[in-house]
Amino acid sequence: MSDAKPQLTILLAEDNPLSRKLLSFIVKKCGHAIVCVEDGQQAVTQVHAADFDVVLMDIEMPVMNGLEATRQIRASQSPRVASIPVIGISAHDDAEMLAQCTKAGMNYCLSKSVTQQEMALALKAAEVFRTGRLQALVATTRYQQRYETWQHAHTDHHHADPIEAIH
């Protein structure tokens, strides 16, 4: 990483120390600053206390899981907090998890096996979303395939389209 100022300040909520270390390393390699907490309740507290550009939220954590923490962030009376991009991080890489993340108010959900390139693309999309210019969040073939799988599985239209949900 260069000595340049970090592009974004990221809040990572992850209870597993090894995953926290790995995800922190990836985020720093992408040129961003990172602050880590260990559960959803700490994440909710931190987004109200400090100014973050993006939240990376593990789905399964003690005290408060990532889905509930995201719902609380979205319900905040603070427009700054309620509109912060939230990217879920899950060990489960399937369309059902993507739908749960979207329903809770997350902008997207990444697999814990995320690569640096995938993380960089997701954070760039979140940055564009944060600045109000997002036209599409799905940027790589992998994300497009996951989105199409989710869309196909939910043709009954009972669930909101995850791309439409972020506009």
Q: What pLDDT was estimated at residue 44? A: 97
Strands (E), the chain: 9-13, 33-37, 54-58, 86-90, 108-111
Asked if residue 3 is part of any domain, the answer here is: no
Residues near 143 by beta carbon (within 8 Å), at least 6 away in sequence: 108, 118, 121, 137
Task: Please tell me the predicted confidence (pLDDT) of residue 138.
Answer: 42
How confident is the prediction for the chain on average, in pLDDT?
81
Which tens digits make up the pLDDT trace of 146-157?
Answer: 656 665 665 554
Cβ proximity of 112 and 19 under 8 Å: yes
Contact of 40 with 63, CB cutoff 8 Å: yes
Q: pLDDT for 64-73, tens place per residue? A: 999 999 999 9
The per-residue pLDDT for 107 is 87
| Residue among 144, 118, 139 nearest 129 (CA) | 139
Whether 147 maps to a domain, the answer reads yes
Is the pLDDT at 143 greater than 50? The verdict is yes
Asked whether residue 88 is assigned to any structural domain, the reply reads: yes
CATH number at residue 120: 3.40.50.2300
For residue 114, tell me if it sits in a domain.
yes
- Residues 111-134 have pLDDT tens digits of 888 888 888 888 888 877 766 544
Domain enclosing residue 84, as ranges: 9-166
Domain annotation covers residue 4: no
Q: Specify if 124 maps to a domain.
A: yes
Domain count for the chain: 1
Domain-embedded: residue 1: no
| Residue 97 resides in a domain | yes
The SS3 call for residue 134 is: coil
Q: Is 55 helix (H, G, I), strand (E, B) or coil?
A: strand
